[in-house]
């Protein structure tokens, strides 16, 4: 690890190791699949490619951005272009990419995760499924950002999901919420055609959340 590393980066390395372990424990990814990143100024700290989360140490976290060339020994995640595209398009401070089973199953069969529960307002509304593009490609990064629009989550067809937020914890909680919503939608469909909340009903929820200070 570099000697005079800013405190923010040291904290980010530890946080990425901790949430990487949770990714596996919470069944949002298996093995070394999925990846996490945190932005500190112009630097992005990201999990490495092909390393199982249980073996991940703070020194394995990769740095991407101006002045980071040659730092560390690991290769950054193959989905680094997608993380960078999200940072370029949003004000996010952290990005989480999962291969969680309910979301992947939905991505293979649906074009959108509809508003089956009002909690979807925490993601900005119904979550779009971006058309299939090969993992790690610039096309996938562009498709993800395009499909997300103003939301803080997007589902990737036959692949997984990406969520982001103002902190790694917020981005991670959104990934957990997205997986839960995909499961609820699947369960609801077992009962028949689910009733879906309208844009007006979601707007009412968002207004009430703002009034009582949730999500601020």
Per DSSP, the residues of 127-195 read EEEEPP--TT-HHHHHHHHHHHTTSSEEEETTTEEEEEESSHHHHHHHHHHHHHHHHHHHHHHHTSS--
Identify any residues that bridge with 153 across adjacent strands, giving them in sequence order. Answer: 163
**Rounded to an integer, what distance in angstroms lies between the CA atom of residue 113 and that of residue 115?**
7
Closest separation in Å from C-beta 194 to Zn ion: 28
Position closest to Zn ion via CB: 160
Closest separation in Å from C-beta 187 to Zn ion: 25
Q: Catalytic annotation on 179?
A: no
- For Zn ion, the closer CB: 178 or 202: 178
Return the residue matching tokens 């690991």. Answer: 74
Interface with Zn ion by CB under 5 A: which residues? 160
Closest separation in Å from C-beta 126 to Zn ion: 22
Return the residue matching tokens 């009733």. Answer: 195
- Whose CA is closest to 93, among 40, 35, 49? 40
Strands 127-130, 153-156: pairing kind? parallel
Marked catalytic residue, from 15, 79, 102, 179: 79
Burial of 22 (0-12, 13-18, 19+ CB in 10 A): middle
Closest separation in Å from C-beta 97 to Zn ion: 6
- For Zn ion, the closer CB: 81 or 160: 160
Provide the annotated active-site residues: 79
């Amino acid at each position: 690890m570099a000697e005079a590393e800013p405190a923010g980066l040291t904290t980010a390395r530890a946080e990425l190791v901790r949430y990487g372990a949770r990714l596996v424990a919470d069944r949002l990814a298996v093995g070394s699949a999925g990846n996490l990143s945190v932005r500190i100024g112009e630097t992005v700290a990201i999990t490495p490619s092909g390393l199982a989360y249980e073996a991940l140490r703070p020194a394995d976290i990769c740095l991407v951005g101006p002045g980071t060339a040659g730092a560390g020994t690991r290769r950054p995640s193959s989905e680094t272009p997608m993380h960078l595209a999200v940072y370029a398009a949003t004000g996010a401070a952290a990005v989480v990419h999962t291969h969680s089973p309910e979301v992947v199953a939905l991505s293979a069969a649906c074009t959108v995760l509809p508003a089956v529960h009002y909690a979807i307002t925490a993601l900005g509304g119904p979550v779009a499924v971006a058309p299939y593009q090969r993992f790690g490609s610039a096309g996938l990064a562009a498709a993800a950002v395009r499909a997300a629009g103003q939301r803080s989550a997007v589902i990737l067809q036959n692949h997984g999901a990406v969520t982001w937020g103002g902190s790694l914890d917020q981005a991670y909680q959104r990934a957990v919420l997205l997986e839960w919503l995909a499961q609820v939608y699947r369960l609801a469909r077992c009962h028949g055609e689910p009733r879906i909340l309208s844009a007006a009903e979601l707007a009412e929820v968002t207004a009430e959340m703002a009034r009582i200070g949730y999500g601020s």
